[in-house]
Amino acid sequence: MKYSDQTRIASLWTPKESIVLHPGDCLRFLKGIPDGTLQLIVTSPPYNIGKAYEKRLKLDNYLTQQAAIIAECVRCLAPSGSICWQVGNYVDNGAIVPLDTILYPIFSSLGLKMRNRIIWHFEHGLHCKNRFSGRYETLCWYTKSDRYVFNLDPVRVPQKYPGKRHFKGPKAGQYSSNPLGKNPGDLWVIPNVKSNHVEKTSHPCQYPVELIERLVLSLANEGDWVFDPFLGVGSTIIAAIRHGRRGAGCELVRDYVSVARRRIEDQLSGRLKTRPMNKPVYDPAAAGNSLSISPWASPQSTGQLTLLEPKKRYVAR
Ligand SMILES: C[S@@+](CC[C@H](N)C(=O)[O-])C[C@H]1O[C@@H](n2cnc3c(N)ncnc32)[C@H](O)[C@@H]1O
């Protein structure tokens, strides 16, 4: 599937389109999609935590609303297709409710099978005072059947010991690792989109394009439809069209639709900047960033462990 800056961005779905940015409600949009059309549905739904774009509902009402959308998604999903629901926690008066756990029965009652519960770990976020700060969310991958698309090779990551060889048996002396790299596993360390991230827009809860590129490459083939019911500023469509898949998504908030359109146009013309897949996470100490040296460390030690020394007054130098 080839794209150019002339490719049309439609607002309604027809089988002839390749990019659909729908400014409206996803449930109504899904009603117009024929059964079995979408190969990959990937999204991060509202978490019902009172963000600018959502009205906080009673948990039961939230689950009923999610169940209706998930059921439509399953109807529209191709037999070889996958749904990836990326969620964090709903917070009720300081108590956390893990959304993946309470949504699981909805997916399983619709006959979907969970293939991975991927932990997406990142380092930035709110600093909690009464519990440990949350530094991961989950990405639950479900398939509609046992015969699902899974392309591992395009998403392999570098081996830890590529020079390792078999030391005994018929393959003794031969390299033991796959030259294409290893399976990325189910713990993905990818920076979240905070203020100095290259992809940051006005949306408070964008996910990074690289997170979705990995899913697009492994769970859909070229030309397949990738759909996001809660599109935000278009990250899923960008990941899809970047790899020659078709992309569709719905968004209720007009400002986010405009940002999504601009980002998709930038992607089509090759101007969109995103954090590259598999780029190592920035390590300030290794990069020699002076802010990584603690100001209260003694001249003999540069480590922050001095904080643990008893009866010491910590004075910045
Ligand atoms: C967590 S955000 C998704 C952000 C997105 N992953 C990105 O990278 O930009 C959820 C989005 O769903 C939108 N939304 C909520 N209910 C919707 C509905 N019924 N139909 C379409 N969009 C909806 C919200 O306005 C919000 O932008």
CATH of the domain at 204: 3.40.50.150
Residue 295 lies in a domain: no
Q: Output the CA 262–ligand 1 centroid distance in Å.
A: 17
Give the model confidence (pLDDT) of 144-187 as tens digits: 999 999 999 999 999 999 999 999 999 999 999 999 999 999 99
The answer, yes or no, to whether residue 62 has pLDDT greater than 70, is yes
Q: Which among 134, 65, 141, 54 has a CA at the least distance from the CA of 94?
A: 134
Predicted local distance difference test score (pLDDT) of residue 296: 67
Confidence at 72, pLDDT banded by 50, 70, 90: very high
pLDDT at residue 25 in the model: 98
Where residue 291 falls among pLDDT bands split at 50, 70, 90? confident
Residue with the bigger pLDDT between 1 and 24: it is: 24
Work out the average pLDDT over 309-317: 63
Confirm whether 223 is domain-assigned.
Answer: yes
Number of domains in the chain: 1
Ligand 1 center–CA 28 separation, angstroms: 14
Quick one: which atom of ligand 1 is closest to the CA of 253? Answer: 25
For residue 312, pLDDT beyond 70: no
CA distance 265 to 263: 5
Asked if residue 58 has pLDDT above 70, the reply is yes
Q: pLDDT (tens digit, 9 = 90+) per residue, 102-156?
A: 999 999 999 999 999 999 999 999 999 999 999 999 999 999 999 999 999 999 9
Q: What is the pTM of this model?
A: 0.93
> Is the beta carbon of 25 within 6 A of some atom in ligand 1?
yes
> Is the beta carbon of 256 within 6 A of some atom in ligand 1?
yes
- What's the 174 CA to ligand 1 centre distance in angstroms? 50
Please report whether residue 101 resides in a domain.
yes
Residue 3 lies in a domain: no
| pLDDT value at 311 more than 70 | no
Average pLDDT, the chain: 93
Q: What is the pLDDT of residue 93?
A: 87
Question: Is residue 46 in contact with ligand 1, taking CB distance under 6 Å?
Answer: yes
pLDDT confidence of 49, banded at 50, 70, 90? confident
Q: Is 103 within a domain?
A: yes
Separation of 40 CA from ligand 1 center, angstroms? Answer: 17
What was the pLDDT predicted at 35?
98
For position 307, what pLDDT does the model report? 56
Please, which pLDDT band fits residue 315 given cuts at 50, 70 and 90?
Answer: low
Q: 205 C-alpha vs ligand 1 centroid, how far in Å? A: 9
Query: Percentage of the chain surpassing pLDDT 70?
Result: 93
Note the pLDDT of residue 305. Answer: 56
For the residues 24-31, what does the mean pLDDT come to?
98
Residue 74 lies in a domain: yes
Residue-level pLDDT at 292: 82
Q: Which domain holds residue 144?
A: 19-154+184-272
The alpha carbon of 230 and the centre of ligand 1 are apart by a number of angstroms equal to: 4
Rounded mean pLDDT of 295-302? 65
Pocket test for ligand 1, best of 230, 251, 254, 274 (most atoms within 8 A of CB): 230
Among 47-51, 130-134, 215-219, 242-246, the least confident range: 47-51
In a domain, 150, yes or no: yes
Rounded to an integer, the average pLDDT of 218-225 is: 98
Mean pLDDT in residue range 195-203: 94
Is position 140 within any domain? yes
Please tell me the predicted confidence (pLDDT) of residue 294.
75
